[in-house]
Amino acid sequence: MSEDAERLLAGLTCRIAARDPEGGWAIGNWFSDPLMRPGWLADQGEDRYEKQLQGAGHQWTFRWNGFPFVEDVAASLTAPPIGVSGAIARDAGDHFEVRLGSATLRLDGRRAPMHQEPEVTP
């Protein structure tokens, strides 16, 4: 495991209960949403606890199918002042990538529900 990858992976565990003071994201110990956003843990099946980390060297992938939302994990690793210094996140469409130096951590998880404005009728 490269040093940069080790810092990113350590960042996952160090931020297990992290929460944005502005209310933009939260990790919730990997099982609940302290922000109580609509749609969190909509699937109450046992499979929501499945998590898998694979990789070597500079390339790692973390997959999970429950909470937290993938955007929250990326933010916890990159948002100032709590983020890993130098880490940047990129939305790659079907996943997020967090990069630090030569290391890439691919995050494959559930997306946060889209915020929808209420319909206004004339």
Tens-digit pLDDT profile for residues 1-31: 999 999 999 999 899 999 999 999 999 988 8
Q: Is residue 113 part of a domain?
A: no
Its pTM stands at: 0.85
Cα 38 from Cα 69, distance rounded (Å): 12
Query: Does residue 116 surpass a pLDDT of 70?
Result: no
Per residue in 41-88, pLDDT tens?
Answer: 555 555 556 899 999 999 999 999 888 999 999 999 999 999 999 999
pLDDT value at residue 36: 86
Q: Is residue 43 part of a domain?
A: no
Q: Is residue 122 part of a domain?
A: no
Q: Is residue 85 part of a domain?
A: yes
Q: Is residue 115 part of a domain?
A: no
Q: Is residue 8 part of a domain?
A: yes
The residue length of the chain stands at 122
With a CB cutoff of 8 Å and minimum separation 6, the contacts of 104 are 58, 59, 60, 97, 98
Cα 26 from Cα 104, distance rounded (Å): 22
Cα 18 from Cα 26, distance rounded (Å): 6
Total of domains in the chain? 1
Q: Is residue 119 part of a domain?
A: no
The answer to whether 106 touches 91, Cβ cutoff 8 Å, is no
Q: Is residue 68 part of a domain?
A: yes
Strand-pair partners of 43? none
Could you tell me the residue range of the domain that residue 92 belongs to? 3-31+50-108
